[in-house]
A and B are shown apart, each in its own frame.
Chain A
Amino acid sequence: MFKSITLISAMIVATSAYAVDSPITGNVSSKCSIFTDKAGVYGNPTPDELSTLTADGGVLPIIRYDVSIADYYTAKISWPNSFSSSPTLTDSIAWDGEVTVSATSDAGMSGYEAAKVEYDNHTEYDLTVAGSTWFTVESEAVYGQDKSLPGGEYKANVVAECIAD
């Protein structure tokens, strides 16, 4: 009995003797990440049109912005206004597009869509809440006056920018 008490006492003393704080420290810094969740694809609903709309046979590009701290960045997304590669075109292209918030990770981001600023082919969002925001980009290109687009491969770029405030 005496041996058991001695042993337990020794364990308690030993434990407390070697118990030291092992602090884990960390640092959260502001950061913006741009994810291309889904690459877009143009559909060809009519001979003179290319469109990323699902109804037109296209696939809408989806871009996600992650910000680690609120109010440090502005998202600027631009729908295409030229092809990066295409067959030779002899007439003009009428470009149109729209950027919309399709999903958010925080209810506080519900005001992003109403507060967006649009000019030319650009749309700006002030990322005032930390978390993830998904943006969908529509893009349409209509060729000439009732002319069919020449056969070939067409490519265009959406530009997604994250600019520190």
Chain B
Amino acid sequence: MNKFYYGLAICLINSSAIAHELTPTYPELRPSYIDEVSVTNMKMWNRRNDVQYYEIGVFDEEWEPIPFATPAALLKLEYLEHKSFEIYIRDKDVARVEYICTTSKQLKIDVQSTGVKSKICSRMK
């Protein structure tokens, strides 16, 4: 019970809490308008006021990068901005795709003594 109150206190004291969200948890690839290329839609919400850039990555089960195309591999999102984006993957790579991730990229000048790099990964089902 004490832990709950401690948690609640942190919530109230740290009203400047900042967050990073990526949905959906389990995206699905569908055929795109380009032959032999599949596409999925993802959505980001930037609630980190110390971060404006997020890097998109696509990985296999062993966390090896998989080639993909997207309008901007480095997303710029202002604080509290929502952004939807499409990820295009060649059909020959579709079976290997396991994770789609976004990772915060902080500018050197924005990092305090210890910065927090946040990474959220959705998984193909």
Q: Which residues of A contact B (CB under 8 A)?
A: 29-42, 52, 59, 61-64, 66, 72-73, 80, 84-85, 102-105, 107, 132, 134, 137, 139, 154-165
Contacts and interface: CB of A to CB of B under 8 A. Distances in A.
B120 A32 contact: yes
B104 to A, nearest CB: 9
B120 A161 contact: yes
B70 interface: no
B19 interface: yes
A63 B116 contact: yes
16 contacts: A30-B24, A31-B21, A31-B25, A32-B25, A40-B113, A41-B113, A61-B116, A63-B116, A80-B114, A102-B6, A104-B7, A156-B113, A157-B117, A158-B116, A163-B123, A165-B123
B85 to A, nearest CB: 17
A111 to B, nearest CB: 13
B116 A163 contact: no
Contacts of A41: 112-114
A146 B124 CA distance: 50
Given A155-B113, A158-B117, A160-B116, A103 B25 contact: no
B108 A84 contact: yes
Contact of A42 (B4, B99, B114): B114
Provide the main secondary structure of the chain A interface.
strand
Interface of B: 3-4, 6-7, 10-11, 14, 17-26, 47-48, 50, 99, 106, 108, 111-123
Contact of A155 (B20, B112, B119): B112
A154 B113 contact: yes
B114 to A, nearest CB: 3
A29 B26 CA distance: 10
A128 to B, nearest CB: 15
B10 A134 contact: yes
Nearest to A38: B14
A34 B25 contact: no
B111 A105 contact: no
